Amino acid sequence: MRISHSGDGCGDTWPLCHGQLIPEAERGKTWVEYGHRLMSGIYGLVVIYFWWVARKLYPQGHYARKAAVATLIFTISEALLGAKLVLFGLVTTNDTPYRAFIMALHQINSFLLTGSVALTYAAALITEDLRVPTTQDRRYRLMPWVIVIIGITGAWASLSNSLFPTDNLFQGLLDDFSSESHFLVRLRGFHPVLALLGGGSLALFFWLKAQTTESLLVQKRSVQMSLLLIAGILFGIATLLLHAPVWMKIVHLALAHTIWVVLLQWVFFIRSNKLT
């Protein structure tokens, strides 16, 4: 939606599109926005069924059931955040701090939504009644926050590149550090730095974990996690050097959510002592 500048494709009405259930419009971005809302509605129905099945299959207190409830809650909050962007005009060329703040919330909520789905699946793989993780290593609880912070700065960088594109990488870097630049331009430089430092540190952690563990499964999953993080970093660098074409932005975002999901499942199984 942001990449195609279609956020105002349905005007300032929500959930209807231009006040209509099925819009009568010829503009391409209207159909992009309408398709997004239609898919979101279908997904919402799927999530309700998902939550209902979890209630039937798992006892009260089971981790899968809790994660399914979280999925339902974050689906609703995701829709409300999307509605706020539309109703408050925080779309297309809006470059206010308020939009940056809502974009950060939107990114956090998206991570929480995909994460809750991933944890529901992970908990469903365990046959016994799983109520709480058993290993309380604080390092594992901190790791997801690294990805969340990188994701927030990534949302700001993407918004900045959409509103203030540049065809000259060197000039773009100068603008990032210029006191006269728009605040979004100055913010976008945080993402590559944090991605290199945070993502690189996590990749090193998982690689060392693979070398020191006695569990073959932990070793395998840790190597996979390390390689996935390295792939994300390299693809991010390529996206920056090629001036972020649309398809690379989409793949970059998909990679970020893949890293997030795999990391959460790794932490979940480690903390519940199921990666043995």
Whether the bond between 165 and the residue before it is cis, its omega within 30 degrees of 0, is no
What's the pLDDT score for residue 128? 60
Extract the tokens encoding 5: 């500048």
Helices (H), 58-135: 63-87, 97-124
Hunting for tokens 């398709």 — which residue is that? 35
Report how far residue 271's alpha carbon sits from residue 236's, in angstroms, rounded to the nearest whole number.
Answer: 30
Classify residue 85 by burial, with Cβ atoms within 10 Å: 0-12, 13-18, 19+.
Answer: buried
Q: Which residues contact 192 (CB under 8 A, 6 or more apart)?
A: 157, 236, 237, 240
Q: Which residues contact 65 (CB under 8 A, 6 or more apart)?
A: 54, 55, 58, 59
Domain ranges of the chain: 1-129, 133-276
- Please tell me the pTM assigned to this model: 0.89
Segment-wise mean pLDDT, segments of 10 residues, the chain, 276 residues: 67 76 73 84 95 93 93 96 89 92 96 96 75 61 94 95 88 89 94 97 95 87 96 96 90 96 91 64
Report how far residue 101's alpha carbon sits from residue 103's, in angstroms, rounded to the nearest whole number.
Answer: 5
What's the pLDDT score for residue 16? 76
Report how far residue 71's alpha carbon sits from residue 115's, in angstroms, rounded to the nearest whole number.
Answer: 8
